[in-house]
Amino acid sequence: MKRGIKKGYLVLEVLLAAVLFVIFATGGIIGLISALNFNRSAKERVEAVNYAQEGVEAARSIRNRSFSELANTAGTGLRRNGSTGVWEYNGAANNELDSRYTRTLVVEEVDANTKKATANVNWSFTPFLPLSVSLSTYLTNWKAAIAAAGPPIMVYSKTTNVPYYRTWNGSVWSGEGSAGTVGGNINFVELEASRTRDEAVLGTLDANGNIYAQVWNGSSWGTPTLMANIGSANATTRSFDVAYEKSSDRAVFAYLPNSTSVDFAYRIWDGSSWSSPLTVSTPPTTAVIKWIEMTQNPVGTSNEIALILLDDNIDVYGMVWTGSVWSNMGAVAVWDASASIATKKAIDVAYEQTSGRAMFMWGDATSTDQYYRIWNGTSLTSATLLDIAAAGGVAHWVKLVSRPGSNELMYGELDAAADLNTRKWSGSAWDTATQHAEHSAAAENITSMVFDLIWETHPANPGKAWLLWGNGARVSKKQWSGTAWESASVLTGSDDTSFIRLKAVSDTGEVMAGMYESATSATDDIWESHLAGGGTAWSAENTLWGGPISAEPVYFRIDIAGQ
């Protein structure tokens, strides 16, 4: 009996071992098959995404050729024309793809000048497991939009209660005209132009503390609208700004509503009238707002506008306008309670032009420190340090500008020791002092914003930028080659200058410069110089007004706008 039991146990053990072997072996085989399938799936998905991206780019190419060719379709194939090589619709065929995949392009109308293009790619991983990917983009009739916009316009203050203006006809500035009279001697002018209408909104802040807005309709100025009176004590900083929404082309005017407010208010111009004022109480600022900076999201279908503000307690905070409400981007506390200075414009904001991400910049209380945060539409990064070791003091005046058709940004800052420095953002990182030797250790003054930056828009000069600044007894200029700054040279006919405003015209590539000279200058003028599209030789000095001009500080008494 015992021997039989023993034999029985042996058989059971063998059977159990065999079963376990089969289980483990099967599991290993299944795991191997799963791994192979996962790798294959990932590879095929990458290929499908590439085909979808190509479909989106094909739609963009068709739009660039002619917006009318980007016809609405519930689903069409795409092909390159055999004789011209350009992309075109191809019915249901997919002769540009691997035979495993099918791709259709869906085009839907959003409005008269905007369409949504979606590239759908489908394939079968197995006969019973179909897969797909989709990529979408919004494409605008940018040629029509530019054609509808008005010519560049310049507005400037002679330190009276009248803003003066001139328009550009493609070769010269017009004779001088007068906009609507405001409440006092004008310290600040801010001008923004419509994308789809011959229209511009002008904001002014005068020495009596009146903030006015008035609208140019292509031939005349409307009656100035008093937005607020903030008192003469608040008239030395620009606590207002205006920006147009990209898609709807409405103008949003944000401003300090009274002399003691820690909040800002806003009104919207829809092309015919101003909305009622609304106050935004979200910002956790602790003192009167001193500076407001806004800029438009460049993505065609977006109405987003980014805003950064600085208060009298040197608190920094930012928000975005979504097209209907102001969002705090998830940040409920002040971003920085120890910024560099409250009486100078130590803040700015700009968008990367292809990604649509917004970068907010400001100077900090530590001499070499600048901080930035990035908003990608859904989340906000933490404050990140940009250290400029050559800075001799805290940032007083800062400027951040976007390169057209790129994610590159250029940053400039003038510090308390009159040092002028720059850095370039690649879309993912800042470059260093290797590319940006300090431009000046003795700028004209630190009382006013004596420099400006601009990227070129002419296709012959992609990636080039200009820096102009007051530098002793002259205006100095440098061009960024795309990788480095050229040597400084003197702008023709220049003199002591305390404020400079630059503007690059999108459709012609011209670069405009408006100069407000120092009260100690030899000629005491307001003047302009300009650069022909694609050229490098600036025009001779053209006096707009022979003075006398204001003593320091000169505030922001010139602005230029236009598409």
Specify the range with the lowest mean pLDDT, choosing from 5-9, 61-65, 421-425, 531-535. 5-9
- What are the pLDDT digits (tens) for 113-162? 788 999 998 888 777 778 898 988 888 776 655 557 889 999 999 989 99
CA 303 to CA 249: how far, in whole Å? 8
Q: What is the mean pLDDT of residues 477-488?
A: 96
Q: What is the mean pLDDT of residues 343-367?
A: 97
CA 196 to CA 144: how far, in whole Å? 8
Residue 553 gets which letter from DSSP? P
Check: CB of residue 93 under 8 Å from CB of residue 78. no
CA 537 to CA 70: how far, in whole Å? 40
Q: What is the mean pLDDT of residues 432-460?
A: 95
Query: Could you give phi then psi for residue 45, rounded to 5 degrees?
Result: -65, -40
Confidence band of 86 (pLDDT split at 50, 70, 90): confident
- The whole-number pLDDT of residue 128 equals 77
Check: CB of residue 77 under 8 Å from CB of residue 90. yes
Residue 303 gets which letter from DSSP? -
Number of domains in the chain: 1
Kindly report whether the peptide bond that precedes residue 404 is cis, defined as omega within 30 degrees of 0. no
In a domain, 199, yes or no: no
Q: Report which secondary-structure segment, H or E, holds 30.
A: helix 2-65
- What are the pLDDT digits (tens) for 513-547? 999 998 888 888 999 999 998 888 999 999 999 98
- The whole-number pLDDT of residue 147 equals 52
CA 559 to CA 561: how far, in whole Å? 7
In this structure, the chain runs to a length of: 563
**DSSP codes joined into one string, 366-414:** STTEEEEEEE-SS-BPPPEEEE-TT--S-EEEEEEEEPTTSS-EEEEEE
Confidence band of 10 (pLDDT split at 50, 70, 90): low
Residue pointed to by tokens 């075109």: 88
Which one has a higher pLDDT value, 201 or 38? Answer: 201
Q: What is the mean pLDDT of residues 201-206?
A: 98
Confidence band of 367 (pLDDT split at 50, 70, 90): very high
Confidence band of 25 (pLDDT split at 50, 70, 90): low
In a domain, 87, yes or no: yes
Domain ranges, residue 32: 2-140
Q: What percent of the chain has pLDDT over 90?
A: 69
- What are the pLDDT digits (tens) for 491-501? 987 888 999 99
- The whole-number pLDDT of residue 13 equals 63
In a domain, 174, yes or no: no
Q: What is the mean pLDDT of residues 236-249?
A: 97
* Mean of pLDDT over the chain: 90
pLDDT for residue 270 is more than 70? yes
The number of C-alpha atoms within 13 Å of 420 and in the hemisphere containing its C-beta is: 22
The β-bridge partners of 500 are 515
In a domain, 301, yes or no: no
- What are the pLDDT digits (tens) for 179-189? 999 999 999 99
- The whole-number pLDDT of residue 138 equals 84
CA 527 to CA 545: how far, in whole Å? 7
Residue 46 gets which letter from DSSP? H
In a domain, 52, yes or no: yes
CA-atom Rg of the chain in angstroms: 30
Confidence band of 35 (pLDDT split at 50, 70, 90): low
CA 456 to CA 410: how far, in whole Å? 12
Check: CB of residue 370 under 8 Å from CB of residue 400. no
Q: Report which secondary-structure segment, H or E, holds 530.
A: strand 526-531
Q: What is the mean pLDDT of residues 334-350?
A: 98
With DSSP H G I counted as helix, E B as strand and the rest as coil, what are the percentages for the chain, rounded to 5? 15, 40, 45
Residue pointed to by tokens 């023709």: 492
CA 56 to CA 72: how far, in whole Å? 14
Kindly report whether the peptide bond that precedes residue 553 is cis, defined as omega within 30 degrees of 0. yes
Chain centre distance of CA 438: 25
In a domain, 304, yes or no: no
pLDDT for residue 412 is more than 90? yes
Hey, what amino acid is at 489?
A: S
Which one has a higher pLDDT value, 486 or 39? Answer: 486
Check: CB of residue 182 under 8 Å from CB of residue 210. yes
Hey, what amino acid is at 360?
A: F
pLDDT for residue 84 is more than 90? no
- The whole-number pLDDT of residue 177 equals 98
- The whole-number pLDDT of residue 1 equals 46
Which one has a higher pLDDT value, 526 or 549? Answer: 526
Given strand 289-296, what is the order of strands in its sheet?
289-296, 305-311, 316-321, 326-327
Q: Report which secondary-structure segment, H or E, holds 499.
A: strand 497-504
Which one has a higher pLDDT value, 351 or 521? Answer: 351
In a domain, 217, yes or no: no
- The whole-number pLDDT of residue 95 equals 56
- The whole-number pLDDT of residue 230 equals 98
pLDDT for residue 432 is more than 80? yes
Sign of the alpha-carbon torsion through 557, 513, 352, 398: negative
In a domain, 40, yes or no: yes
